[in-house]
Amino acid sequence: MTTTATPLLQVQDLRTVFETRAGRVFAVDGVDVTVHPGECLGVVGESGSGKSVTFSSVMRLVRAPGRIVNGSISFEGRDLRGLSVHDMRRIRGRDIAMTMQDALTALNPALTVGEQILEVLYAHDETLPKGRLARQRAARAKAVDMLELVGIASAGDRLKYYPHEFSGGMRQRIMIAIALACRPKLLIADEPTTALDVTIQAQVLELIADIRARLGMSVVLITHDLGVVSEYCDRVMVMYAGQVVEEGPTASVIREPLHPYTRGLLQSIPRLSLRGQKISPIEGQVPDLIDLPPQCRFYSRCGERIDACRQRIDMRDLGEQRRARCIRLSEGKA
Ligand SMILES: Nc1ncnc2c1ncn2[C@@H]1O[C@H](COP(=O)(O)OP(=O)(O)OP(=O)(O)O)[C@@H](O)[C@H]1O
Ligand code: NI
Protein backbone atom coordinates (compact mmCIF):
# COMPACT_ATOMS: atom_id res chain seq x y z
CA MET A 1 0.00 0.00 0.00
CA THR A 2 1.27 3.45 -0.87
CA THR A 3 -0.39 6.60 0.32
CA THR A 4 -0.02 8.28 -3.04
CA ALA A 5 -2.21 5.70 -4.82
CA THR A 6 -5.68 6.86 -5.83
CA PRO A 7 -8.09 5.88 -3.07
CA LEU A 8 -10.48 3.03 -3.73
CA LEU A 9 -13.19 4.70 -1.67
CA GLN A 10 -13.38 8.38 -0.88
CA VAL A 11 -16.21 9.85 1.14
CA GLN A 12 -16.35 13.57 1.77
CA ASP A 13 -18.51 15.51 4.19
CA LEU A 14 -21.15 12.80 4.48
CA ARG A 15 -24.27 13.73 6.42
CA THR A 16 -27.02 11.22 7.08
CA VAL A 17 -30.03 12.15 9.19
CA PHE A 18 -33.08 10.37 10.57
CA GLU A 19 -36.31 12.30 10.74
CA THR A 20 -37.98 11.18 13.96
CA ARG A 21 -40.93 12.41 15.96
CA ALA A 22 -38.53 13.89 18.49
CA GLY A 23 -36.65 15.78 15.77
CA ARG A 24 -33.87 15.38 13.28
CA VAL A 25 -31.15 12.97 14.39
CA PHE A 26 -27.73 13.87 12.95
CA ALA A 27 -26.42 10.31 12.95
CA VAL A 28 -23.53 11.02 10.58
CA ASP A 29 -22.45 14.63 10.56
CA GLY A 30 -19.67 15.57 8.17
CA VAL A 31 -17.70 12.36 7.91
CA ASP A 32 -14.73 11.86 5.57
CA VAL A 33 -13.45 8.37 4.82
CA THR A 34 -10.57 7.23 2.63
CA VAL A 35 -9.80 3.60 1.90
CA HIS A 36 -6.73 2.81 -0.18
CA PRO A 37 -6.39 -0.27 -2.38
CA GLY A 38 -5.41 -3.30 -0.32
CA GLU A 39 -5.52 -1.65 3.08
CA CYS A 40 -7.52 -2.52 6.15
CA LEU A 41 -9.19 0.43 7.85
CA GLY A 42 -10.50 0.01 11.38
CA VAL A 43 -13.52 2.03 12.51
CA VAL A 44 -14.06 2.29 16.27
CA GLY A 45 -16.31 4.18 18.61
CA GLU A 46 -18.94 3.54 21.25
CA SER A 47 -22.41 2.32 20.42
CA GLY A 48 -24.41 4.95 18.55
CA SER A 49 -21.40 6.86 17.21
CA GLY A 50 -22.49 6.42 13.59
CA LYS A 51 -20.24 3.62 12.36
CA SER A 52 -22.93 1.44 10.80
CA VAL A 53 -24.91 4.37 9.40
CA THR A 54 -21.75 5.76 7.73
CA PHE A 55 -21.10 2.55 5.85
CA SER A 56 -24.76 1.74 5.16
CA SER A 57 -24.79 5.18 3.54
CA VAL A 58 -21.81 4.22 1.39
CA MET A 59 -23.77 1.13 0.30
CA ARG A 60 -26.87 3.30 -0.14
CA LEU A 61 -28.73 0.96 2.18
CA VAL A 62 -30.05 3.52 4.66
CA ARG A 63 -33.79 3.08 4.98
CA ALA A 64 -36.43 5.72 5.69
CA PRO A 65 -36.75 7.70 7.91
CA GLY A 66 -33.01 7.93 7.29
CA ARG A 67 -31.51 9.71 4.31
CA ILE A 68 -28.24 11.09 3.05
CA VAL A 69 -28.49 14.88 2.94
CA ASN A 70 -24.96 15.83 1.97
CA GLY A 71 -21.60 14.59 0.79
CA SER A 72 -19.88 12.77 -2.02
CA ILE A 73 -19.16 9.06 -2.14
CA SER A 74 -16.67 8.06 -4.76
CA PHE A 75 -15.61 4.50 -5.52
CA GLU A 76 -12.80 4.08 -8.07
CA GLY A 77 -13.59 7.61 -9.15
CA ARG A 78 -17.32 6.90 -9.73
CA ASP A 79 -19.86 8.95 -7.83
CA LEU A 80 -22.07 6.38 -6.06
CA ARG A 81 -24.69 8.91 -4.98
CA GLY A 82 -25.47 9.68 -8.60
CA LEU A 83 -25.86 6.07 -9.74
CA SER A 84 -29.22 4.61 -10.68
CA VAL A 85 -30.68 1.97 -8.36
CA HIS A 86 -29.82 -0.63 -10.98
CA ASP A 87 -26.17 0.44 -11.30
CA MET A 88 -25.83 0.68 -7.52
CA ARG A 89 -27.07 -2.89 -7.19
CA ARG A 90 -24.33 -3.98 -9.57
CA ILE A 91 -21.69 -2.24 -7.45
CA ARG A 92 -23.01 -3.97 -4.32
CA GLY A 93 -22.03 -7.56 -4.40
CA ARG A 94 -19.63 -7.18 -7.29
CA ASP A 95 -17.36 -4.34 -6.16
CA ILE A 96 -18.30 -3.61 -2.56
CA ALA A 97 -19.84 -6.08 -0.13
CA MET A 98 -20.95 -5.45 3.42
CA THR A 99 -21.62 -8.00 6.12
CA MET A 100 -24.19 -6.81 8.61
CA GLN A 101 -23.85 -6.63 12.36
CA ASP A 102 -26.54 -9.22 12.93
CA ALA A 103 -26.01 -12.32 10.80
CA LEU A 104 -29.29 -13.96 11.70
CA THR A 105 -31.46 -11.09 10.52
CA ALA A 106 -29.22 -10.33 7.54
CA LEU A 107 -29.54 -13.84 6.14
CA ASN A 108 -32.82 -14.93 4.62
CA PRO A 109 -34.30 -17.60 6.94
CA ALA A 110 -36.46 -19.04 4.17
CA LEU A 111 -33.61 -19.85 1.79
CA THR A 112 -30.81 -22.36 2.17
CA VAL A 113 -27.32 -20.90 2.34
CA GLY A 114 -26.62 -22.47 -1.06
CA GLU A 115 -29.56 -20.63 -2.59
CA GLN A 116 -28.34 -17.38 -1.07
CA ILE A 117 -24.83 -17.72 -2.41
CA LEU A 118 -26.12 -18.76 -5.84
CA GLU A 119 -28.40 -15.74 -5.93
CA VAL A 120 -25.37 -13.46 -5.62
CA LEU A 121 -23.39 -15.41 -8.18
CA TYR A 122 -26.20 -15.39 -10.75
CA ALA A 123 -26.75 -11.69 -10.25
CA HIS A 124 -23.14 -10.55 -10.43
CA ASP A 125 -20.72 -13.15 -11.72
CA GLU A 126 -20.00 -12.41 -15.34
CA THR A 127 -17.52 -15.23 -15.65
CA LEU A 128 -20.21 -17.95 -15.43
CA PRO A 129 -20.84 -19.84 -18.68
CA LYS A 130 -23.99 -19.03 -20.64
CA GLY A 131 -25.68 -22.43 -21.10
CA ARG A 132 -28.21 -23.22 -18.35
CA LEU A 133 -26.75 -26.49 -17.11
CA ALA A 134 -23.13 -25.42 -17.39
CA ARG A 135 -24.03 -22.23 -15.60
CA GLN A 136 -25.70 -24.08 -12.74
CA ARG A 137 -22.83 -26.48 -12.39
CA ALA A 138 -20.19 -23.73 -12.39
CA ALA A 139 -22.13 -21.63 -9.89
CA ARG A 140 -22.60 -24.57 -7.55
CA ALA A 141 -18.88 -25.39 -7.70
CA LYS A 142 -18.11 -21.76 -6.84
CA ALA A 143 -20.56 -21.80 -3.94
CA VAL A 144 -18.81 -24.88 -2.53
CA ASP A 145 -15.45 -23.14 -2.98
CA MET A 146 -16.67 -20.10 -1.10
CA LEU A 147 -17.92 -22.14 1.86
CA GLU A 148 -14.63 -24.02 1.93
CA LEU A 149 -12.75 -20.75 1.78
CA VAL A 150 -14.47 -19.61 4.97
CA GLY A 151 -13.61 -22.88 6.66
CA ILE A 152 -16.90 -24.76 6.51
CA ALA A 153 -16.34 -28.51 6.27
CA SER A 154 -18.48 -30.78 4.04
CA ALA A 155 -19.42 -27.67 2.12
CA GLY A 156 -21.25 -29.60 -0.59
CA ASP A 157 -23.76 -30.95 1.94
CA ARG A 158 -24.01 -27.75 3.94
CA LEU A 159 -25.31 -25.85 0.91
CA LYS A 160 -28.68 -27.45 1.66
CA TYR A 161 -28.81 -26.16 5.24
CA TYR A 162 -30.87 -23.18 6.40
CA PRO A 163 -29.27 -20.32 8.37
CA HIS A 164 -30.82 -21.40 11.70
CA GLU A 165 -29.09 -24.77 11.40
CA PHE A 166 -25.71 -23.10 11.92
CA SER A 167 -24.15 -21.64 15.06
CA GLY A 168 -23.58 -17.87 15.38
CA GLY A 169 -19.94 -18.16 14.34
CA MET A 170 -20.82 -20.29 11.33
CA ARG A 171 -23.50 -17.80 10.28
CA GLN A 172 -20.93 -14.99 10.33
CA ARG A 173 -18.69 -17.14 8.15
CA ILE A 174 -21.58 -17.79 5.76
CA MET A 175 -22.28 -14.08 5.54
CA ILE A 176 -18.63 -13.52 4.73
CA ALA A 177 -18.82 -16.28 2.10
CA ILE A 178 -21.83 -14.58 0.50
CA ALA A 179 -20.06 -11.22 0.69
CA LEU A 180 -16.97 -12.66 -0.94
CA ALA A 181 -18.80 -14.71 -3.58
CA CYS A 182 -18.08 -12.14 -6.27
CA ARG A 183 -14.61 -11.24 -5.05
CA PRO A 184 -15.36 -7.65 -4.15
CA LYS A 185 -12.61 -5.05 -4.16
CA LEU A 186 -13.85 -3.81 -0.81
CA LEU A 187 -15.32 -5.78 2.08
CA ILE A 188 -17.05 -3.82 4.81
CA ALA A 189 -17.35 -6.06 7.87
CA ASP A 190 -19.67 -4.55 10.46
CA GLU A 191 -18.84 -5.97 13.90
CA PRO A 192 -18.14 -9.40 12.48
CA THR A 193 -17.32 -10.84 15.87
CA THR A 194 -19.24 -9.08 18.64
CA ALA A 195 -21.73 -11.90 19.08
CA LEU A 196 -19.07 -14.60 19.12
CA ASP A 197 -16.93 -16.14 21.81
CA VAL A 198 -13.26 -15.24 21.91
CA THR A 199 -11.89 -18.27 20.08
CA ILE A 200 -14.36 -18.00 17.23
CA GLN A 201 -13.80 -14.23 17.10
CA ALA A 202 -10.14 -14.85 16.41
CA GLN A 203 -10.95 -17.45 13.76
CA VAL A 204 -13.29 -15.13 11.87
CA LEU A 205 -10.78 -12.27 11.99
CA GLU A 206 -7.94 -14.52 10.83
CA LEU A 207 -10.17 -15.68 8.04
CA ILE A 208 -10.85 -12.13 6.87
CA ALA A 209 -7.14 -11.27 7.09
CA ASP A 210 -6.20 -14.39 5.18
CA ILE A 211 -8.72 -13.81 2.39
CA ARG A 212 -7.70 -10.18 2.22
CA ALA A 213 -4.09 -11.24 1.66
CA ARG A 214 -5.06 -13.85 -0.90
CA LEU A 215 -7.53 -11.76 -2.89
CA GLY A 216 -5.76 -8.43 -2.40
CA MET A 217 -8.98 -6.71 -1.40
CA SER A 218 -9.46 -3.75 0.93
CA VAL A 219 -11.29 -4.20 4.21
CA VAL A 220 -13.19 -1.85 6.50
CA LEU A 221 -13.46 -3.45 9.92
CA ILE A 222 -16.09 -1.90 12.17
CA THR A 223 -15.56 -2.84 15.81
CA HIS A 224 -15.78 -1.72 19.42
CA ASP A 225 -12.46 -3.30 20.12
CA LEU A 226 -9.27 -1.28 19.71
CA GLY A 227 -7.37 -4.48 20.45
CA VAL A 228 -8.77 -5.99 17.25
CA VAL A 229 -7.86 -2.82 15.38
CA SER A 230 -4.29 -2.90 16.64
CA GLU A 231 -3.91 -6.44 15.43
CA TYR A 232 -5.55 -6.28 12.02
CA CYS A 233 -5.81 -2.71 10.73
CA ASP A 234 -3.29 -0.50 8.94
CA ARG A 235 -5.16 2.68 9.78
CA VAL A 236 -7.87 3.56 12.24
CA MET A 237 -10.70 6.05 12.31
CA VAL A 238 -12.23 6.88 15.69
CA MET A 239 -15.86 8.05 15.64
CA TYR A 240 -17.77 9.91 18.31
CA ALA A 241 -21.35 11.21 18.14
CA GLY A 242 -21.57 11.16 14.35
CA GLN A 243 -18.14 12.61 13.65
CA VAL A 244 -14.61 11.39 13.12
CA VAL A 245 -12.53 12.63 16.05
CA GLU A 246 -9.21 11.02 15.20
CA GLU A 247 -7.60 9.21 12.32
CA GLY A 248 -4.17 7.84 11.53
CA PRO A 249 -1.91 4.84 11.15
CA THR A 250 -2.93 2.34 13.83
CA ALA A 251 0.46 1.95 15.48
CA SER A 252 0.98 5.67 15.86
CA VAL A 253 -2.57 6.34 17.11
CA ILE A 254 -2.21 3.65 19.74
CA ARG A 255 1.28 4.76 20.75
CA GLU A 256 0.29 8.41 20.93
CA PRO A 257 -3.45 9.06 20.86
CA LEU A 258 -4.15 12.76 20.20
CA HIS A 259 -7.83 13.07 21.09
CA PRO A 260 -8.93 12.73 24.72
CA TYR A 261 -11.69 10.36 23.58
CA THR A 262 -9.18 8.02 21.93
CA ARG A 263 -7.13 8.10 25.12
CA GLY A 264 -10.28 7.23 27.04
CA LEU A 265 -10.98 4.29 24.75
CA LEU A 266 -7.43 3.03 25.18
CA GLN A 267 -7.60 3.31 28.93
CA SER A 268 -10.72 1.20 28.98
CA ILE A 269 -8.96 -1.74 27.31
CA PRO A 270 -6.87 -3.87 29.67
CA ARG A 271 -4.43 -5.24 27.15
CA LEU A 272 -3.69 -1.91 25.49
CA SER A 273 -3.63 0.56 28.34
CA LEU A 274 -0.19 1.64 29.44
CA ARG A 275 1.33 -0.53 32.12
CA GLY A 276 0.73 0.78 35.59
CA GLN A 277 -2.21 2.87 34.46
CA LYS A 278 -5.58 2.21 35.97
CA ILE A 279 -8.18 0.70 33.67
CA SER A 280 -11.16 2.99 33.64
CA PRO A 281 -14.20 3.25 31.43
CA ILE A 282 -15.12 6.69 30.05
CA GLU A 283 -17.73 8.20 32.31
CA GLY A 284 -20.89 9.86 31.08
CA GLN A 285 -22.93 9.34 27.96
CA VAL A 286 -22.86 10.10 24.27
CA PRO A 287 -24.79 13.36 23.70
CA ASP A 288 -28.26 13.39 22.21
CA LEU A 289 -27.82 13.68 18.45
CA ILE A 290 -30.84 15.96 18.12
CA ASP A 291 -30.17 19.67 18.85
CA LEU A 292 -26.43 19.47 19.26
CA PRO A 293 -24.87 22.73 20.42
CA PRO A 294 -21.94 24.04 18.34
CA GLN A 295 -19.17 22.84 20.61
CA CYS A 296 -16.86 19.88 20.95
CA ARG A 297 -19.17 16.86 21.18
CA PHE A 298 -16.99 15.24 23.78
CA TYR A 299 -17.12 18.38 25.96
CA SER A 300 -19.33 17.08 28.75
CA ARG A 301 -17.18 13.98 29.26
CA CYS A 302 -13.74 15.41 28.66
CA GLY A 303 -11.33 15.77 31.57
CA GLU A 304 -9.26 18.26 29.60
CA ARG A 305 -11.97 20.69 28.53
CA ILE A 306 -11.47 24.45 28.58
CA ASP A 307 -13.85 27.31 27.70
CA ALA A 308 -12.53 27.49 24.15
CA CYS A 309 -13.94 24.01 23.49
CA ARG A 310 -17.40 25.59 23.41
CA GLN A 311 -17.27 26.46 19.73
CA ARG A 312 -17.36 24.54 16.51
CA ILE A 313 -14.29 22.33 16.36
CA ASP A 314 -12.86 21.29 13.00
CA MET A 315 -10.63 18.38 12.14
CA ARG A 316 -6.95 19.37 12.25
CA ASP A 317 -4.31 17.99 9.98
CA LEU A 318 -1.28 17.16 12.05
CA GLY A 319 1.04 15.66 9.47
CA GLU A 320 2.26 12.08 9.13
CA GLN A 321 -1.26 11.05 8.15
CA ARG A 322 -2.56 12.07 11.57
CA ARG A 323 -5.76 14.07 12.02
CA ALA A 324 -7.75 14.90 15.12
CA ARG A 325 -10.62 17.13 16.19
CA CYS A 326 -9.40 18.81 19.37
CA ILE A 327 -8.76 22.50 19.94
CA ARG A 328 -6.09 21.82 22.52
CA LEU A 329 -3.81 20.36 19.87
CA SER A 330 -3.04 23.86 18.63
CA GLU A 331 -1.75 24.77 22.07
CA GLY A 332 0.93 22.16 21.61
CA LYS A 333 -0.66 19.99 24.26
CA ALA A 334 -3.72 17.82 24.26
N1 LIG B 1 -33.79 3.92 12.26
C2 LIG B 1 -33.29 4.92 13.01
N3 LIG B 1 -34.09 5.89 13.48
C4 LIG B 1 -33.59 6.91 14.21
N5 LIG B 1 -32.30 7.06 14.52
C6 LIG B 1 -31.46 6.11 14.10
C7 LIG B 1 -31.90 5.00 13.31
N8 LIG B 1 -30.83 4.22 13.02
C9 LIG B 1 -29.77 4.83 13.60
N10 LIG B 1 -30.15 5.96 14.24
C11 LIG B 1 -29.28 6.92 14.95
O12 LIG B 1 -28.00 6.87 14.39
C13 LIG B 1 -27.03 6.80 15.41
C14 LIG B 1 -25.86 6.02 14.90
O15 LIG B 1 -26.23 4.66 14.76
P16 LIG B 1 -25.21 3.55 14.25
O17 LIG B 1 -25.99 2.31 14.11
O18 LIG B 1 -24.47 4.03 13.06
O19 LIG B 1 -24.20 3.45 15.47
P20 LIG B 1 -22.95 2.46 15.61
O21 LIG B 1 -21.75 3.31 15.81
O22 LIG B 1 -22.92 1.52 14.47
O23 LIG B 1 -23.30 1.73 16.98
P24 LIG B 1 -23.14 0.18 17.39
O25 LIG B 1 -21.72 0.06 17.82
O26 LIG B 1 -24.10 0.00 18.50
O27 LIG B 1 -23.45 -0.66 16.21
C28 LIG B 1 -27.74 6.19 16.60
O29 LIG B 1 -27.26 6.71 17.79
C30 LIG B 1 -29.16 6.62 16.42
O31 LIG B 1 -29.36 7.84 17.10
NI1 NI C 1 -23.22 -0.47 14.29
Q: What is the number of structural domains in the chain? A: 1
In this structure, which ligand is nearest to the CA of 286? 1
Distance 224 CA to ligand 2 centre (A): 9
**What's the confidence (pLDDT) of residue 334?**
44
What is the structure's pLDDT at 151? 85
Q: Could you list the residue range(s) of the whole structural domain that residue 249 is in?
A: 7-95+187-194+219-334
61 lines ligand 1 (CB under 6 A): no
Higher-confidence position of 121 and 192: 121
In angstroms, what is the span from residue 246 Cα to ligand 1's centroid?
20
The 10s digit of each residue's pLDDT in 95-126 is: 999 988 876 778 899 999 999 999 989 988 88
pLDDT at 4: 58
Q: Ligand 1 pocket, 27 CB below 6 A?
A: yes
Question: What pLDDT does 214 receive?
Answer: 86
Can you give the pLDDT at residue 2? 47
Could you tell me if residue 206 is inside a domain?
Answer: no
Domain contains 111: no
pLDDT at 333: 45
Cut 0.95: pTM above it: no
Residue 28 lies in a domain: yes
For 203-219, write each residue's pLDDT tens digit: 888 888 988 998 899 99
- Does residue 1 carry a pLDDT above 90? no
Domain annotation covers residue 13: yes
Task: Give the pLDDT score at 331.
Answer: 60
Q: Report how far ligand 1's centroid is from the alpha carbon of 20 (Å).
A: 12
Find out whether the beta carbon of 151 lies less than 6 Å from any atom of ligand 1: no
Cα dist from 283 to 31, 95, 245, 261, 306, whole Å = 25, 40, 18, 11, 18
Q: What is the mean pLDDT of the chain?
A: 90
45 lines ligand 1 (CB under 6 A): yes
Highest mean pLDDT among 5-9, 10-14, 122-126, 130-134: 10-14
Distance of alpha carbon 208 from alpha carbon 298, whole angstroms: 33
Q: How confident is the model at residue 272 (pLDDT cuts 50, 70, 90)?
A: low
Q: Which CATH number fits the domain that encloses residue 311?
A: 3.40.50.300
Task: Tell me, yes or no, whether 264 lies in a domain.
Answer: yes
pLDDT classification of 143: cutoffs 50, 70, 90: very high
For the segment 54-62, the average pLDDT, to the nearest whole number, is 96
Answer whether residue 203 is part of any domain.
Answer: no
Name the band, by pLDDT with cuts 50, 70 and 90, for residue 273.
low
Q: Is the C-beta atom of 56 inside 6 A of ligand 1?
A: no
How do residues 151-169 score in pLDDT, each as one tens digit?
A: 889 999 999 999 999 988 8
289 lines ligand 1 (CB under 6 A): yes
For residue 297, tell me if it sits in a domain: yes
Q: Would the pLDDT of 19 be above 70? A: yes
User: Which residue is closest in CA terms to ligand 1's atom 3?
Assistant: 18
ipTM of the complex: 0.98
Decide: 100 in ligand 1 pocket, CB within 6 A.
no
In a domain, 313, yes or no: yes
| 6 has a pLDDT exceeding 70 | yes
- In ligand 1, the atom with minimum distance to the C-alpha of 53 is 18
